[in-house]
Copies of this chain bind each other. A is one copy, B any other.
Amino acid sequence: MDNTTIKKLLESVQSGRASVEHALNQLKHLPFEDLSFAKIDHHRHMRQGIPEVIFAEGKKVQDVVRIARSMYRSSKRVLITKASKSIYTKLKMKNAVFHPLSRTIAVQGAKEQNGHILILSAGTSDIPVAEEAAVTASFLGSRAETVYDVGVAGIHRLMEAKDSLHSARVIIVVAGMEGALPSVVGGITDKPIIAVPTSVGYGTSFGGLTALLAMLNSCVPGIAVMNIDNGFGAGCLAHKINTLSPA
C-alpha cells in the first residue's frame, strides 16, 4: 500500500464517501501484521519509498511463501530476491514472474517505466548481479537498460554504448576482479554512478573485497558504493534518484 492508496482513502473521507471510522480502521490495521515469526511492515513503502522485499536466501520455502502472500494481500505487489524455482512453483500467483538469471520473483511490478537507468557489467560472470539490479529498478517503476561485458581490458567496447551513457539519468556499474570499470565510466560521464562489486574472481579477489575497495578508492569523486553482490540495493538507489521529483 503506497502513498497514492492512502491519499485516495483520505480523499474519500474528505468527500464523504468513507466514514472516519472506516478510514481509521484501514489505517490502524496497516502498521504491521504479526505472523509470529516475522513482523511484516506494510508501511515501509510510504516511509522509505521501497516496498517490503523478501530476501529468500536461508529462509524456508514455506515461510517465504507465507510472508509473500500476506504482503500481497496488503499491498498487491511483492519482490523476492535470491529466490529459487521451487519458491516460484509453490507461490502459485498468476502475476508472478520468475527471472532465473538473477533468481528474482516479481509480482505485479510497476506498470509505467520512468526515466532511464543504464546498467553495465564488466564481464559475463557479473550478469546475475546486474540483472538483479535491473529487475529491481524495473519492478519499482524505472526503465532499465542493460549493456554487458564491457570491461576495462577491452575499453573500446564501452565506447559503443556512448548513446546509452548519454541518455541515462543514473548509471549502475557492476564489476568483479579489480573493479576498475566504475572509475573508467566515471571519467567519461557526469551522471550519478552506483558501483556494485561482485564476488567474481579468485585468489586475492577475496570474494569481492578487492573490487569493493577499488570502488571506494576511485579517483573519480562521488561514486556511490554498494555491498558485494548487492544488485538489489543498487536498483533501489537508482530508482530513488531517477524518480526524485524536481527541486
Interface residues of A (CB under 8 A from B): 31-32, 37-39, 41, 44, 46-50, 53, 57-59, 63, 114-116, 122-125, 127, 148-157, 169, 177-180, 183-184, 186-192, 194, 197, 199-230, 232-237, 239-244, 246-247
Task: Find chain B residues with CB under 8 A from A209 CB.
Answer: 204, 213
B215/A230 in contact, CB under 8 A: no
Q: How far is the CB of A223 from chain B (nearest CB, A)?
A: 7
Q: How far is the CB of A66 from chain B (nearest CB, A)?
A: 11
4 pairs of A and B residues whose beta carbons are closest in the complex: A49-B190, A203-B228, A224-B224, A222-B236
Task: Find chain B residues with CB under 8 A from A219 CB.
Answer: 122-123, 151-153, 177-178
Q: How far is the CB of A52 from chain B (nearest CB, A)?
A: 9
The distance in angstroms between the C-alpha atoms of A214 and B197, with both chains bound, is 12
- The chain B residue with its CB closest to the CB of A209 is B204
A240/B192 in contact, CB under 8 A: yes
- With A201-B217, A210-B214 given, can you name 6 additional A-B contacts, CB distance below 8 Å? A39-B157, A155-B155, A184-B184, A192-B244, A206-B213, A222-B240
A183/B188 in contact, CB under 8 A: no
The distance in angstroms between the C-alpha atoms of A11 and B202, with both chains bound, is 43
- The chain B residue with its CB closest to the CB of A218 is B178
The distance in angstroms between the C-alpha atoms of A247 and B115, with both chains bound, is 5
- Name the contact of A234 in the complex, choosing from B192, B222, B247 (C-beta under 8 A): B222
- Name the contact of A204 in the complex, choosing from B31, B124, B227 (C-beta under 8 A): B227
Q: Can you report 12 A-B residue pairs in the complex whose CB atoms are below 8 A from each other?
A: A114-B247, A177-B219, A178-B179, A192-B244, A197-B203, A204-B227, A206-B213, A210-B213, A222-B235, A222-B236, A224-B226, A244-B244
- The chain B residue with its CB closest to the CB of A40 is B149
A154/B39 in contact, CB under 8 A: yes
A32, A183, A233 interface centre (most CB from chain B within 10 Å): A183
The distance in angstroms between the C-alpha atoms of A115 and B58, with both chains bound, is 34
